[in-house]
Amino acid sequence: MYADVIIDISHEKLDRPFQYAIPKRLEGTIRPGSRVVVPFGGGDRSMTGYVTGLSDTPEIDPSRIKDITGTPQGELAIEDQLIGLAAWMKSNYGGTMSQALKTVIPVKKKQALKLKKTICLIPAEGEAKDILDDMCARKNHSIPKERLLRALINDRELSWDMVRNKLMIPAAAIRDMESKGLVKIIEEREFRLPTGNLPEEEERPMLTPEQMEVLETYKKRRDEKKPFLLYGVTGSGKTEVYLQIIEEVISGGRQAIVLIPEISLTYQTLVRFYRRFKDRVSTINSRMTPAERYDQFERAKTGDISVMIGPRSALFTPFSNLGVIIIDEEHDDSYKSGQIPRYHARETAIQRGRMTGASVVLGSATPSVESYERAEAGEYIRLDMPHRVSKRSLPHCEIVDMRQELKRGNRTMFSGLLSEHIKDRLKKQEQIMLFLNRRGLVSSVSCRECGHVIKCPHCDVSLSLHRGGRLTCHYCGYSMPQVKSCPNCGSAYIRGFRVGTQSIEDELIKSFPGIRVLRMDADTTGGKDGHRRILEAFSNREADVLLGTQMIVKGHDFPGVTLMGIMIADISLNSSDYRGGERTFQILTQAAGRAGRGDIPGDVVIQTYQPDNYSITSAAAQDYESFYARESEYRKLMKYPPFSHMLSIMISSEEEGQAAGRAAAIKSFIDEMSVIGAVVLGPFMAPVGKLRDVYRRVVYVKNTNYDRLVFIKDRLERYLLNERGYSKAYVSFDFDPMDFM
């Protein structure tokens, strides 16, 4: 056996793997990411390196390949751990070592941290007024200082920017007052958590028997080094379980990472962690500048914090003694990176766990088919919480067949049943959520005479009709005015289907006079806390209905909501990839879980054109097992993940001929390799065949053995390096893709 070893990443010339032989005594202990000692260069100097991959074929004359000397002893520095992880990612997902390193190690940017400075008055009001009088009594006293003191007597605290820019006070004057002990200047990072203003320690709830059992099992079995899958219905109290796991971990001097999809990373979610862990916890998110994230990572490294909460990239927090990685909503698509290396945070977390001894807890009410399958196979330890806390019942779900509604002459978006329920809630003054599953929704414009669809001239997708009457491309941003007649046949009968939250709002107001609607979608959540404002208003019962897309179903708890209406359930079933059914099931189950969180049991109405589809019927029954049974049958039959693995190779070029030519060459290269069990499909036009004027082709390879796909990728990468005919076509890899754009 041979190992590819990378020696030193900071060194441009050494930023590539060298092959070494694995001596018999080390076989089995060395895997990608292992740190090894190797002889290097003419003098065979001992150097430490990282294994990036294994293979059984020598690249050069085997007699010239040196042996690995051994594995280094002792604790690894945190950077070493992360470099090892990067090496594993590079080998497992493709791309270059430096792309992998940039993903795991944030680069320090020379960019000043934005500090929020506040000027506070120190003396009490009376004393301050005396000082002001004294000051004014003096001749030639400083007018700016007087102005500042007056302002501070009014407000006690003023922001630095305001004082400098509005009151026009020179910095020297402020500093002088500071040195005299009149004011103090507090510098805070803008993103520091408002821990100071939090309500005092909340009371620890008494754990439910289910929570207790789950925690016991976790403690008993974590030394088995297998990931845990916490499968608990919505409202079963998973967060409390996370909190207690973290508490135990940090009391043992170790640290915790909690991954939460960005969309659920709201104040409401975070506050539970802040309350419990105070200033030991920090968070990162995508709105922060690189410098701000860097700063949070520094705090982690120096031991200033013990808990990091964030989206996918928080996985790389440089904690040196990591005890646990928790991934909430582990099924969420956002855990898969869209950038090279296209890693999955779940797999990568498990790898980091393996390398550091941290346990991994995956939590979900609707586990991914992948994780559930691994738990069934005994690779993960399952922890179940099938009941809601304090015996709140799961909501009552009903499916409405919208085709029947149409037959009965109902042309509105609200079925008879949903209308009745809405009227009933309005009467009882209970709250309603209406959910529109937007994924894949096309508000395209087409000609009713000839069927012509208006498409983006740069992308192979239809344009969407927006409120102001403009047609916009969601992929590249191209926009043009709505057409008056069909460019194909000249007919004036050209119309848009506008099924969006906007049109539902319009219809609600028309059908239910006096109804108060809050709409939450990309249009209404602009600005820094657009989200929070809408949620707060709804929570304060300033509206009867909260209407929105995905954003409203993630993690918000509104005890007043007793009705959840799902406007059109089947939209994500029609998307072109194999995960449509799973997504539909997950989003419907989550949406349904939002109703009846308080004391009154809730109702859920699911409107659909495919009432018999198992994703919809199992979601209505809140029956994961029956969904899983059907879905896994289908995936096995079609050889889709997790029962097989898939490598998607995307070939893109501004010249269509280059893309097509390289795709064909790749296909035959892989065919010729004839790897055992490999099924090669394509080349095809990608689902979006042209994007921002770039032509896109794909080749898919399936194999039940992931390592064989890695092998194919490695070979192909080498082949592409030397192949010159199609240099204008770019090739990228995606393992077990989740986004089939």
Region near Zn ion per CB under 5 A, out of 43-51, 478-486, 592-600, 676-684: 478-486
Name the minimum Å distance from CB 460 to Zn ion.
9
Q: How far is the CB of 593 from ligand ADP (least distance, A)?
A: 7
Nearer to Zn ion, 486 or 520 (CB): 486
Going from the C-alpha of 443 to that of each of 144, 229, 477, 566, 603, the distances in angstroms are 58, 38, 15, 18, 29
- Kindly tell me which residue out of 473, 650, 665, 709 binds Zn ion, with binding defined by CB under 5 A: 473
Nearest distance in Å: CB 477, Zn ion: 7
By CB under 5 A, tell whether 459 contacts Zn ion: yes
Contact call for residue 76 and Zn ion (CB under 5 A): no
What does each C-alpha distance from 528 to 223, 540, 603 come to in angstroms?
43, 20, 33
Rounded Cα distance, 366 and 371, in Å: 10
Would the CA dihedral through 618, 621, 624, 629 be positive or negative? negative
Binding site for ligand ADP (CB under 6 A): 205-208, 211, 232, 234-240, 389-390, 557
Distance between CA atoms of residues 439 and 333, nearest Å: 12
Q: Is the peptide bond before 601 cis (omega within 30 degrees of 0)?
A: no
Within positions 490 to 519, which residues make up the interface with Zn ion, using CB under 5 A?
Answer: 491
Tell the smallest beta-carbon distance from residue 698 to Zn ion (Å): 19
Is the Cβ of residue 415 or residue 586 nearer to ligand ADP in the bound state? 586
Alpha-carbon distance of 474 to 558, in angstroms, equals: 32
Q: Which stretch binds Zn ion (CB under 5 A): 163-171, 340-348, 488-496, 695-703?
A: 488-496
Asked if 115 touches Zn ion (CB under 5 A), the answer is no
Give the shortest CB-543-to-ligand ADP separation in angstroms: 21
Those residues with Cβ within 8 angstroms of residue 338's Cβ, 6 or more apart along the chain or in another chain = 739
Who's near 739: CB < 8 A, 6+ residues apart? 333, 336, 338, 577
Query: Residues in contact with Zn ion, total (CB under 5 A)?
Result: 15
Q: How far is the CB of 326 from ligand ADP (least distance, A)?
A: 11
Of the pair 237, 602, the CB lying nearest ligand ADP is at: 237
- Calpha distance 439→569 (Å, rounded): 11
Per-residue HEC secondary structure of 21-59 comes to: ECCHHHCCCCCCCCEEEEEECCCCEEEEEEEEEEECCCC
Pick what 488 binds: Zn ion, ligand ADP, none; C-beta below 5 to 8 Å, kind-dependent: Zn ion
Q: Is 737 left (phi over 0), alpha (psi -120 to 50) or beta?
A: beta
* From candidates 450, 522, 629, 681, binder to Zn ion by CB under 5 A: 450
Q: Are 444 and 573 in contact (CB under 8 A)?
A: no
Q: Is there a contact between 612 and 619 (Cβ–Cβ < 8 Å)? A: no
How many helices and strands (H and E) does the chain possess?
21, 29
Binder of residue 111, out of ligand ADP, Zn ion, none (CB less than 5 to 8 A by kind) = none
The correct pick among 71, 96, 334, 488 for binding Zn ion (CB under 5 A) is: 488
Cβ contacts of 75 within 8 Å, gap of 6 or more:
none
Q: Largest Cα–Cα distance in the chain?
A: 95
476 touches Zn ion (CB under 5 A) = yes
With respect to Zn ion, which residue has the nearer C-beta, 478 or 719? 478
Which 8-state DSSP code applies to residue 183? E
627 closest CA partner among 330, 368, 327, 438: 368
User: Which range binds Zn ion by CB under 5 A, 132-140, 161-169, 411-419, 487-495?
Assistant: 487-495
* Stretch near Zn ion under the rule CB under 5 A, chosen from 216-224, 365-373, 481-489, 525-533: 481-489
- The residue among 237 and 661 lying less far from ligand ADP, judged by its C-beta, is 237
Give the shortest CB-629-to-ligand ADP separation in angstroms. Answer: 24
Helix (H) or strand (E) holding 385: strand 381-385
Cis amide bond preceding 642, omega within 30: yes
The C-alpha atoms of residue 96 and residue 104 are separated, in whole angstroms, by 13
CB of 489 to Zn ion, least distance (A): 3
Least Å from the CB of residue 480 to Zn ion:
11
Least distance between ligand ADP and beta carbon 431 (Å): 16
205 binds, among ligand ADP, Zn ion, none (CB under 5 to 8 A by kind): ligand ADP
CB nearer ligand ADP, residue 53 or residue 596 = 596
Judged by beta carbon distances under 5 to 8 A according to partner kind, the member of ligand ADP, Zn ion, none in contact with residue 301 is none
Q: Which of 260, 326, 456, 547 binds Zn ion (CB under 5 A)?
A: 456
Alpha-carbon gap, residue 328 to 362, rounded angstroms: 6
Binding partner at 208 among Zn ion, ligand ADP, none, C-beta below 5 to 8 Å by kind: ligand ADP
Which one, 130 or 557, has the nearer CB to ligand ADP?
557
Query: Residue 269 is encoded by which pair of tokens?
Result: 């979610």
Of 419 and 446, nearer to Zn ion (C-beta) is 446
Residues binding Zn ion (CB under 5 A): 447, 449-450, 452, 456, 458-459, 473, 475-476, 478, 486, 488-489, 491
